[in-house]
Amino acid sequence: MKVEPGARELLEAARAALVNEVIPLLPADKRYAALMAANAMAISIRELSLPATEAGERGRLAALLGQPASDPIAEANRTLAARIREGAFDQGSARAALLGHLEATTRERLAVSNPRALRPPQEKP
Amino acid sequence: MNAPLHPSANRPDDGSGHEPRLRAEGLLALACGGPVELASWERLSGGAIQENIAVEARVATGPHAGKHAWVLRMDAQSAVAVSLSRESEFAILRAVHAAGVLVPEPLFLCADEGGPSFFAMRRVPGVTAGHRLTKDDTLVPDRPRLARELGANLARLHRIAPPVASLAFLGDAPADGAKACVADYRRGLDELGAVRGEAWPALEWGLAWCARHAPAPLHSRLLHRDYRTGNYLVHEGRLTAVLDWEFAGWGDPREDIGWMLARCWRFARPDREAGGIGSAEDFLAGYAAEGGAGVSWEETIYWQVLAHLRWALIALQQAERHRSGSQASLELALTAHIVPELEGEILALTKARP
């Protein structure tokens, strides 16, 4: 049985120590590297917190491709990418289904990489 | 053994590039026709690809005698294949400086067997930092004016049309810049996909959309290809120089416009379309007033999509340099995590348009 606290809790504690105790003391020219390290830890914590991320993507890929999605999922994404390039999703309901999938997948990726960007992007009217 | 008779020879090695400094003094002396002492040597924060070193040069005699503030630009440890050599970048700077584009004046190209080639340019005052320029109104008191200056300066660059004999190393101009970009970025994704067995469906969607919507091409012009906030200097509210010409090449001039307007380069102010500095209207008006093509906001959307696609590809390529072990770097690794945001922009811009 694995020892607790495990990976996620340790990373959270390590990040808190870095942000609260170390970064305030750093000279300006070292802060950037430390802030990058804190950001990398935050991404890792979010990734560890969302173990089921790929389940939804897998289901949507199977629906779009009309066949069970591969494991690992990368193969199914390669197939999808090739079909997009061939123009199979250019129009109509195929296009709408693809965009729905891509938007959902991008939101899931943003939830790990950069949740602040989850706000809907603004386009000039 | 005799110590070399050289102005810097007695300085202690302070870890600030002592040997490169001696070499630079020697090469600059040849270029200047008189002994050169580099009284200071300060690394400026630069790109991951090139190093910029600010120097105070003291030239004892000859046509350049006097004290000068120069910047030496040389390759950092790892160069990227798509970027130009220092020799080529120097030729570009000379061409665009002659065309009236605001750039640091290029002075001397220095090369020998002893190290990387570099060139000297006149140091220009100003701030580059994107988050400061977009946030701090004391740095940019008149934002419409700076947006117009950025447009006008780009129009002066885009007056340069192929062929130019001194820029022959750039190769042939594409007949259709948009289609060339789509083909280029697809090739880039294929190369990464072959290495990693991965694929990027949202980027493929953006490329398919761009392939379908390619506009009638404009004649190729000289492009900067990284014309954005962060790559130019602003001093007392005015544009003083555009930096980092290593990606310059021939293409559709609207490619540079889309890059400047794309949301990914607006830093603290995504509501200001022109690089977080000012409005698209002012930028495009400055461009047209200086002889650039009249381009509407709606027309720029296509090129903004292409801009996000290109930045996403570059981000993936940078992350691959870390993943492959060729250059272990947390900064490069984190760059991959910008990609989902770029994908979101591509989806938002293309969704409402067939």
Write down the pLDDT at residue B21. Answer: 92
Write down the pLDDT at residue B330. Answer: 95
CB atoms within 10 A of CB A24: 8
- Tell whether B140 is covered by a domain: yes
A58/A37 same-domain check: no
Q: What is the mean pLDDT of residues A12-22?
A: 98
Between CA B301 and CA B305 the distance in angstroms is 6
B91/B148 same-domain check: no
A23/A58 same-domain check: no
Burial of A116 (0-12, 13-18, 19+ CB in 10 A): exposed
* Number of domains chain A is built from: 2
Write down the pLDDT at residue A53. Answer: 63
Categorize the per-residue pLDDT at B15 as very low, low, confident or very high, splitting at 50, 70 and 90. Answer: very low
Write down the pLDDT at residue A120. Answer: 59
- The fraction of chain A above a pLDDT of 90, given in percent, is 78
B94/B147 same-domain check: no
In terms of CA atoms, which chain B residue is nearest residue A88? B208
Taking 60 as the threshold, does the pLDDT of residue B10 lie above it?
no
Contact check, Cβ <8 Å, A77/B344? no
B194 in A contact zone (CB under 8 Å): no
Chain A residue numbers touching B308 (CB-CB < 8 A):
none
What are phi and psi for residue B233, nearest 5 degrees? -105, 135
Categorize the per-residue pLDDT at B18 as very low, low, confident or very high, splitting at 50, 70 and 90. Answer: low
Write down the pLDDT at residue A2. Answer: 87
DSSP state at residue B125: -
B208 in A contact zone (CB under 8 Å): yes
Residue with tokens 């069970």: A68
Q: Where in the sequence is the domain holding A68, given as residue range(s)? A: 53-117
Average pLDDT, chain A: 91
Residue with tokens 């310059």: B248
B134/B117 same-domain check: no
The closest CB to that of A74, out of B189, B199, B352, belongs to B199
A12/A59 same-domain check: no
B109/B136 same-domain check: no
| Distance in Å, alpha carbon of A47 to nearest chain B alpha carbon | 12
Contact check, Cβ <8 Å, A102/B198? no
- Tell whether A125 is covered by a domain: no
B140/B226 same-domain check: yes
Write down the pLDDT at residue A111. Answer: 93
Chain B residue numbers touching A85 (CB-CB < 8 A):
186, 204, 207-208
- Tell whether A123 is covered by a domain: no
Strand-strand pairing, B50-59 and B36-44: antiparallel
In terms of CA atoms, which chain A residue is nearest residue B196? A74
Give the model confidence (pLDDT) of B311-340 as tens digits: 999 999 999 999 999 889 999 999 999 999
Write down the pLDDT at residue B17. Answer: 52
Amino acid at A120: P
Taking 50 as the threshold, does the pLDDT of residue B13 lie above it?
no
B263/B346 same-domain check: yes
Contact check, Cβ <8 Å, B341/A87? no
Give the model confidence (pLDDT) of A79-92 as tens digits: 999 999 999 999 99
Between CA B323 and CA B178 the distance in angstroms is 30
B113/B37 same-domain check: yes
Write down the pLDDT at residue B144. Answer: 98
Between CA A16 and CA A38 the distance in angstroms is 9
Token couple for B134: 């977009």
Q: Where in the sequence is the domain holding B43, given as residue range(s)? A: 18-122
B152/B76 same-domain check: no
Between CA B166 and CA B95 the distance in angstroms is 8
Write down the pLDDT at residue B327. Answer: 87
| Distance in Å, alpha carbon of A92 to nearest chain B alpha carbon | 10
Write down the pLDDT at residue B50. Answer: 76
Token couple for A103: 């938007």
Categorize the per-residue pLDDT at A49 as very low, low, confident or very high, splitting at 50, 70 and 90. Answer: confident
CB atoms within 10 A of CB B27: 22
Q: What is the mean pLDDT of residues B67-96?
A: 83
Q: Which of A41, A43, A50, A106 has the highest number of chain B CBs within 10 A, making it the mutation to test binding with B?
A: A106
Helix then strand then coil, in percent of chain A rounded to 5, is 75, 0, 25
| Distance in Å, alpha carbon of A76 to nearest chain B alpha carbon | 9
Contact B171, A47 (CB under 8 A): no
A31/A44 same-domain check: yes
In terms of CA atoms, which chain A residue is nearest residue B273? A124
B188/B45 same-domain check: no
The closest CB to that of B204, out of A85, A101, A107, belongs to A85
* Number of domains chain B is built from: 2
Q: Is the dihedral of CA A102, B338, A117, A11 positive or negative?
A: positive
- The fraction of chain B above a pLDDT of 70, given in percent, is 91
3-state secondary structure of B17: coil
Token couple for B315: 């981000």
Write down the pLDDT at residue B75. Answer: 78
Contact B178, B217 (CB under 8 A): yes
Strand-strand pairing, B118-122 and B106-110: antiparallel
A108/A69 same-domain check: yes
* Domain end residue (candidates: B87, B103, B122): B122
A37/A87 same-domain check: no
Taking 50 as the threshold, does the pLDDT of residue B8 lie above it?
no
CATH number at residue B74: 3.30.200.20
Taking 50 as the threshold, does the pLDDT of residue B345 lie above it?
yes
3-state secondary structure of B39: strand
Residue with tokens 């090129």: B303
| Distance in Å, alpha carbon of B351 to nearest chain A alpha carbon | 8
The closest CB to that of A36, out of B193, B297, B334, belongs to B334
Q: Could you give the dihedral angle defined by the CA atoms of residues B146, B151, B155 and B157, in that order, rounded to the nearest 10 degrees?
A: 60
What are phi and psi for residue A104, nearest 5 degrees? -65, -40
Give the model confidence (pLDDT) of B85-124 as tens digits: 889 999 999 999 999 999 999 999 998 887 888 999 999 9
| Distance in Å, alpha carbon of B195 to nearest chain A alpha carbon | 13
Which residues on neighbouring strands pair with residue B57, listed in sequence order? B38, B68
Average pLDDT, chain B: 91
Give the model confidence (pLDDT) of B279-311 as tens digits: 999 999 999 999 999 999 999 999 999 999 999
A63/A35 same-domain check: no
Give the model confidence (pLDDT) of B199-256 as tens digits: 999 999 999 999 999 999 999 999 999 999 999 999 999 999 999 998 999 999 999 9
Residue with tokens 């949740």: A115
Write down the pLDDT at residue A21. Answer: 97
Nearest CA to B70 out of B36, B33, B113 is that of B36
Give the model confidence (pLDDT) of B167-178 as tens digits: 999 999 999 999
A98/A111 same-domain check: yes
Write down the pLDDT at residue A124. Answer: 47
Compute the residue count for chain A. Answer: 125
The closest CB to that of A77, out of B199, B208, B337, belongs to B199
In terms of CA atoms, which chain B residue is nearest residue A37? B330
